[in-house]
Structure formats: C-alpha cells, structure tokens
Amino acid sequence: MVINNQSKVESDVSNSWATTICQYLSQRRIQTKVAYQAQLQSNNIYDEDREPQDWLFDAIFEILIQRLEEGHTVLVLNDSDSNTSSSSKLYRWQQQLLQPLLQSLLIPTNGIVATIDFEILENIALWETLLLQTMLSEYEQKILRQRYSICVSLYHYFQYVYEHSKDITDSLNIFIKTIKSAQLFEIVNIKNEIINNPIVFQIENSLESNAVAKKNISITLWLHRTWQAEYDLARHIIRIKQQTINELPIVLSPLLNAEQKAAIHMANRSAFSIITGGPGTGKTFTVAQLVIALQQAQNDNEVGSVSSHANLALAAPTGKAAQRMQESLQDAIQHAGVTMQLPEAKTIHRLLGIGQGGRPRYNTANPLSEDIVIVDEASMLGVEMANYLVSAIKPNARLILLGDANQLAAVDAGAVLADLCRIPVLQDIHKRLDVSRRFTTESGIGKLASLINSSITDMPAVWKLMQDEETLSFYQLSNHLSEPLSEKEIAVTNDNSINTFSTLKVLKILLEKYSHYINDSKKILIETNTLKSPSTAQYMTYFKELMTVLNTFKVLTAGHNGRCGDHYINRYLSEQHKEQLKLPLSKSPWYHGRPVMILQNNYELGLFNGDIGICLQTERGILQVFFENKIQGIAVNMFSDDMIATAYAMTIHKSQGSEFEHVAISFDDNNARLLSQELIYTAVTRAKKQVTIFSTTSAFTRALSTPTVRQTGLGLQFANLDSVTE
C-alpha cells in the first residue's frame, strides 16, 4: 500500500479531460447518435471481444496526454531491451505502455491508495471491490471503470502478442501492423506536412554495428498538436538559418575573451544563432556587442538624427527574467562607453501579443518588425511557445537564443534549447561559453555546479567540497522527524552540518536569515506612521530598499508541499513577520512587508508570471503592492488569491532568471519524484556568494544521480526535413 493524497487523486479523476477528449474523438467514428449513446450507456463496460481499433486509440491517447503533462512530447518504443516481466510475461515496451495507464487507476480508499499492478487486471471482482470502497461520485467511478476497461483490453492484447511473436522485434512489428490498420492513427510522410489524424507515428529501422547484422525497430508516437509544433519549429528554424543577412561592422571590445569573440562572429554571420553557457560566462555581455553595432549602423544611416533606438526586441519567458536581461544588457552597453536607450524587455507573451485566447497576434502572416530579436533564458521555452516565437521572425531578421542548456527544461512540454544544442545541422550556429567571470576555478559554487553537471556524479567529491568550502553548507535532515540518523548519514556530515535537524530548527534558521528584512519593514512602518502624507516617490524608495534586502537571501524549494515546501515555509515566516510587527489578528493574507510573486500574466495590470512585489501600508492604513516595473502601488483588492503567492520562499522552477546573494535549497525524500541534477544545478547557480542545502543525504544523492531525460521528437523533425532537402 502506498500513502497518497486523496484529494489529488480525486482531482485527477474529476479533471479527466484526456479521457473525455479521446472518447469524443473515437465516438466520431460512429456516425449515428444512437450508436454513440449505445456505446456510452453500455452495461457491459468490460467487454473483451471488442476489436483493437475500438479501444487502442483511447489507450494511446491517454498515455500521450500523461506524457505531455510530464514534459515529454513523444512516446518512443523500441526493441533494444528484450527483458520481460516474470509475473506478467510482457516485453519491456509493453510494460512501458501499460504502466502510465496503471498509474491512472490509483484508487483512494479511506485516505490510502492501493498499489495497482498487473495482477488486478486479471481480477475484475477485486477491482470492483476496491472501487466500491471509495468515496468517489458515480461519474468519477464511471471514468475509472472506463480506464480500467481500456487497460484490461490492452493488457490482454499484449499477452496475445507476446504469445504469438517469435521475439521482441516480431512483437513490435505486430503492434505496428495493428496501429497502421487502426483509425485515427497516421504514419508520418516526410514529403507531406499535412496530417489529418489525432495520433501521429513514425517508424525507424537501423542496423546494429556488430558482426551479425540485426535491424532495430523504433516507433515514435505524437499527439497531432505536438507533432505539428515540433515540425513547424524545425521548419522555421531552417528557414531563418538559410537566410542571407548583412554582417554588421563590429569593433570588438578588448575585454572579450576568445570564445566570446567567436560567438560574436558566429552570431554576426548567421540569422539564427544559439549562445549557451553557465552563470557569469558573459552571454549578455557578448550579445551587447551586436546591439552596439546595430545602433552604430543605424546612426550612420540617419544623418542629422539626434538619437536613435535600435530596431531591437528583448524578451524572456518570465517578467523577472526579462527585467534582469534588460538590466544586464544596459550595464554591458554602458560599460562599453556607449550611450543608448534599450527598448523595454518583454515577456515572450507580450512580445508576440498573446492575449486571453492564447493565440499570438504576431505570426508568419504578421511577423515582428524588429531586425534583431534576442531571447534570454531560452531553456525555459516549451515547444509550442518556441514555435510561436520562430514563426513570427520576419525575413532577413536575426534571432539569438541565450541560455544555459544544463538548467531545468521548460515547465511546458519539450526541451527545446537542449535539443537544439544537440542537432547536427545546427552545430555551426551554436557556441558554448565555458569561462565564468562570476565563478572562478576556485569558487565553491562553481566547483559544485561543475560536479553536478558531470555525466557520472562523484558523490565523495561532492561531500568533500561541501565540507571544505565556507560558501557551501549542508544541513542534514533526518528521514523522519523523530528518527535518528544512520551511521552512513552521520559519516557524511561535517563542520557545516547539523547532525540532528528538526523542522523547527530549519524554520528558525530561515527566520534569522530574514530578520534584517523584517526589521527594515518594521522601521518603514513606524516611519510612515509619523510622516504626514508621504509621496508615492517616498513609498517607491521604501520599496526599493526592501527589495535590495529581500534579494540578499532566498529560500528555494523542490515543490510546494511538505515540510520542505514553499507553502509550509511561507506560512511560518508570514506568521512570524506579522507577530514581530505586532499586527492585530486578521483573516486577510495581506500585511505590511509581505513579499509576493505573480503567478499568472495579467495584461490589464501589466504584471506577468514571476514578477516580485512587496506590500506596503500607505496613507490611512491602505495596503498597496509595489513592483519594480511600476511607478506606483496597486491596491491589494486588485489581486485574487490564485493570482499571487507569498514569496519568502519559492520553487526552484519559479526562480529561473533570478539571482540572489545567498540561496537556501530545501527538499527531502518526499520530493523524490521532482528531484534531478538539473533541478539542483539551477538552484545552486541562482546564488552569487553562498549556498545552503537543507536535505537528507538520500534525497541529495538521488537528485545528483538523476539526470532529466525528456523524450522529444524535435531531432527527428530536423532529420526528416534534412533528408527531404538532400
């Protein structure tokens, strides 16, 4: 039995839009309303005599939706692993298809979720018994019964394939033959970009390089929407890359190193270019040289012009990343002794004019007018947003992507930047910067980031580094609050660690780190109460002072829930902050000094996902929220609870594009599903000077030994397009 959160499972069931959509699409094959209702109301939902085309689409559609929600754009099945399950007698690729469907059958009974395995697919009576013990509604039970029926059909079909195939390759060939004949599936034709069915698949054959030539078979499946997004993304990148552009006359700064100069020459010659590198490698400083050259070229062509704005667009996936990008680029330009006013950096949503409907105003038919479009934090781009972006680049314009391919992939499906860096046809327009000015070879943070990125993580070297470096600290959490540490856990602790560490100790340390911020907010509250009618400018000054202090320390968490989650930490720090301000009890979440983060774009207020603000008490006790990109406060009643969150702590995902002097990273074994090398690397590299980790040795070790692997089809799309042009 596995303990789980019942409300989450119920939510997954009640929000089963994937089940609803796939049923709708499959029912469209039945042309009469009577036939549709007959299938929907069938009493025998466990009918095993249905033909594969009657349930196969439903099964694959549900699996692909689950994959999409996990960040994958495709499902890849191959015959490279012939291991079978002794209990179920299934090949690995068959288990790979069944497991996601089994996960969707988790049933909450009295707060406990039964572990579902293949055995329950053989015992309908046991399944019904478990289902009747739940508190689910009749509709929710019906959804689960439909999923179970699909799972049973697929399981029995796979057993038949296993028994009637010579080997794993033959079994995969039987499956391929089945989906080729099934409705609503369509095989990719690389010479035809028009796909008419909701599930797309491509078959690949390759020869092994051993003495006995053997063909390996691989089948890649997409949802039509993701196939189209990846296809269009590849097609538009190739279009941009093949354009001829005029090189700008560039006078290289003597401060540039050799790899930065190479990156500039590459970006100057190509309409599409990618510059990647870790923190402090000078990606922004490098691309500033192109911006300066563009400005100088425009000035030469505009004789008599007093001033000129570069025909340039700056963008990033979040508001915070866009703001940081503009500040860094402006600093780099001023450092070069050039006076120019950059255009406002925007979120990609704003740049493309994406409104409430989700469709961009700027696209292939109505492209952006800018000559150079520079996008920072490109690792945060999902495949659909990346496609919208490249589709809107006008002929003969430049698109430059900046980012760190080792950081977390996008929250949305796809791993665009990492994929583009690996595609052979794009290697000549990709330059990686390795020399970091922020983290020298002697920097503890830089060394830790390098160890995390190693293909095989050397954990003894990591522990030794944590012990030796003053800028790095590891605080050991016990696996359970009252459980003593094992000998192994005690052995890895060091002078910078605390051997027994309770949740209360964690919270008290974090509270101490925020004491400067809390005390400053208290001083401002006292001061504003003594002033007569402080001006808006005065409140903006207070806000900037508090933001400076707030950015010196930040708690980053792997997830929202549990003792190491941002919800728990924020709740504790909020209560302590209000107590130290001696505020009266109130049900309102708003109070003077509350740091907040915007969770969703609000175009009316001009606020965007990731923006950070601080609530200040103004005249007559009115509470307003101030933001860095605003000239005045916004009344708190303009914000709904789902639009904003307290931000002493934030998730590592939300921290992308931000920098802090000192970062505390909080996670434990309850976050196992979220942990990865990329997650910890992203958190560590948010810090400029100091990193503190609150975790268990097992969770930390698991994270550093778990690289994120997203299955995507972007590489296949480039290969297909390349073969067409040959």
* Among the ranges given (46-50, 128-132, 489-493), the one the predictor scored with the smallest mean pLDDT: 489-493
* Residue 32 lies inside a defined structural domain of this protein: no
The reported pLDDT for the residue numbered 54 is 66
In angstroms, how far is CA 283 from the centroid of its own chain? 21
- What is the rounded end-to-end Cα distance, in angstroms, of the chain? 56
With residue 468 as reference, give the H or E element that holds it.
helix 459-468
Q: In the numeric block, which tokens belong to residue 40?
A: 């929907």
Spatial separation of the C-alpha atoms in residues 627 and 649, rounded to whole Å: 18
In angstroms, how far is CA 668 from the centroid of its own chain? 20
280 is in an annotated binding site: yes
Average pLDDT over residues 377-394: 91
Sign of CA dihedral 491, 495, 497, 502: positive
Q: Distances in Å between the alpha carbon of 151 and those of 62, 296, 574, 686?
A: 11, 64, 46, 44
The reported pLDDT for the residue numbered 238 is 93
Query: Can you state the angle between helices 566-581 and 515-530, rounded to 10 degrees?
Result: 40
Say yes or no: 395 and 461 in one domain: no
* Residue 68 lies inside a defined structural domain of this protein: yes
* Among the ranges given (55-69, 222-236, 431-445, 623-637), the one the predictor scored with the smallest mean pLDDT: 431-445
Report the CATH number that the domain containing residue 552 is assigned in CATH.
Answer: 3.40.50.300
Residue 304 has pLDDT above 50, yes or no: no
Say yes or no: 174 and 252 in one domain: no
pLDDT, one tens digit per residue, over 463-492 is 888 888 888 999 888 665 434 334 443 344
Say yes or no: 451 and 426 in one domain: no
User: Is 651 in contact with 566 (CB distance < 8 Å)?
Assistant: yes
Q: Which of 191, 222, 253 is the last residue of a domain?
A: 222
* Residue 486 lies inside a defined structural domain of this protein: no
Residue with the bigger pLDDT between 327 and 427: it is 427
282 is in an annotated binding site: yes
Q: How many domains does the chain have?
A: 3
Q: In the numeric block, which tokens belong to residue 37?
A: 């209702």
Query: 73: closest CA among 404, 402, 446, 387?
Result: 387
Spatial separation of the C-alpha atoms in residues 465 and 454, rounded to whole Å: 15
Query: Can you state the angle between helices 138-163 and 6-14, rounded to 10 degrees?
Result: 80
Query: What are φ and ψ of residue 205, in 5° steps?
Result: -120, 140
The reported pLDDT for the residue numbered 510 is 92
Residue 494 has pLDDT above 60, yes or no: no
The reported pLDDT for the residue numbered 89 is 79
Say yes or no: 94 and 165 in one domain: yes
* Residue 239 lies inside a defined structural domain of this protein: no
Query: 316: closest CA among 368, 381, 270, 372?
Result: 381
Residue 43 has pLDDT above 50, yes or no: no
pTM exceeds 0.85: no
Specify the 3-state DSSP secondary structure of 375: strand
Count of residues making up the chain? 726
Say yes or no: 534 and 575 in one domain: yes
Q: Which of 166, 188, 222 is the last residue of a domain?
A: 222
Residue 719 has pLDDT above 70, yes or no: yes
% the chain with pLDDT above 90: 21
Residue corresponding to tokens 């808006």: 536
The reported pLDDT for the residue numbered 91 is 86
pLDDT, one tens digit per residue, over 330-375 is 888 887 777 777 888 888 888 998 876 778 899 999 999 988 899 9
The reported pLDDT for the residue numbered 506 is 83
278 is in an annotated binding site: yes
Residue 32 has pLDDT above 50, yes or no: no
Q: Distances in Å between the alpha carbon of 50 and those of 44, 100, 329, 331, 402?
A: 11, 22, 62, 67, 52
DSSP state, 312? E
Task: Annotate 490-548 with DSSP letters as a single string.
Answer: HHH--TTS-SS--HHHHHHHHHHHTHHHHHHHHHHHHHHHHSSS--HHHHHHHHHHHHH
Spatial separation of the C-alpha atoms in residues 714 and 228, rounded to whole Å: 10
Residue 257 has pLDDT above 50, yes or no: yes
* Residue 175 lies inside a defined structural domain of this protein: yes
Residue 295 has pLDDT above 80, yes or no: no
Q: Provide the residue type at 195 as one letter.
A: I
Residue corresponding to tokens 């080729």: 180
pLDDT, one tens digit per residue, over 665-689 is 999 888 888 888 889 999 998 998 8
Spatial separation of the C-alpha atoms in residues 716 and 723, rounded to whole Å: 10
Residue 419 has pLDDT above 60, yes or no: yes
444 is in an annotated binding site: no
Say yes or no: 524 and 636 in one domain: yes
414 is in an annotated binding site: no
Query: 55: closest CA among 93, 97, 16?
Result: 97
Average pLDDT over residues 265-294: 85
Query: Could you give the count of Cα atoms lying within 13 Å of 164 in the half-sphere of its Cβ?
Result: 9
Residue 556 has pLDDT above 90, yes or no: yes
* Among the ranges given (371-380, 516-525, 624-633), the one the predictor scored with the smallest mean pLDDT: 624-633
Q: To the nearest whole number, what is the mean pLDDT of the chain? A: 80
* Residue 453 lies inside a defined structural domain of this protein: yes
Residue 711 has pLDDT above 50, yes or no: yes
The reported pLDDT for the residue numbered 214 is 53
Average pLDDT over residues 458-467: 88
In angstroms, how far is CA 421 from the centroid of its own chain? 17
Say yes or no: 78 and 218 in one domain: yes
Residue with the bigger pLDDT between 221 and 213: it is 221
Say yes or no: 624 and 699 in one domain: yes
Beta-sheet strands, E only, within 457-569: 472-476, 553-557
441 is in an annotated binding site: no
Q: Distances in Å between the alpha carbon of 249 and those of 8, 285, 298, 546?
A: 58, 17, 11, 43
**Confidence band for 82, pLDDT divided at 50, 70 and 90:** low
Residue 88 has pLDDT above 70, yes or no: no
* Among the ranges given (87-91, 466-470, 532-536), the one the predictor scored with the smallest mean pLDDT: 87-91
Say yes or no: 367 and 248 in one domain: yes
Say yes or no: 165 and 255 in one domain: no
Residue 631 has pLDDT above 50, yes or no: yes
Q: How many CB atoms lie within 10 A of CB 365?
A: 7
* Residue 21 lies inside a defined structural domain of this protein: no
Query: 417: closest CA among 237, 239, 282?
Result: 237
User: Is 263 in contact with 275 (CB distance < 8 Å)?
Assistant: yes
The reported pLDDT for the residue numbered 2 is 37
In angstroms, how far is CA 401 from the centroid of its own chain? 17
pLDDT, one tens digit per residue, over 156-212 is 888 888 888 888 888 889 888 888 888 888 888 777 667 788 899 998 875 444 444
Query: Could you give the count of Cα atoms lying within 13 Å of 428 in the half-sphere of its Cβ?
Result: 8
Residue 40 has pLDDT above 60, yes or no: no
Say yes or no: 525 and 573 in one domain: yes
The reported pLDDT for the residue numbered 393 is 93
The reported pLDDT for the residue numbered 569 is 92
Say yes or no: 540 and 419 in one domain: no
* Residue 145 lies inside a defined structural domain of this protein: yes
84: domain range?
A: 51-222
618 is in an annotated binding site: no
For residue 646, give every residue at least 6 positions away whose Cβ sits within 8 Å of its Cβ, in sequence order, or none.
570, 571, 573, 574, 589, 594, 595, 596, 597
Query: 371: closest CA among 304, 314, 428?
Result: 314
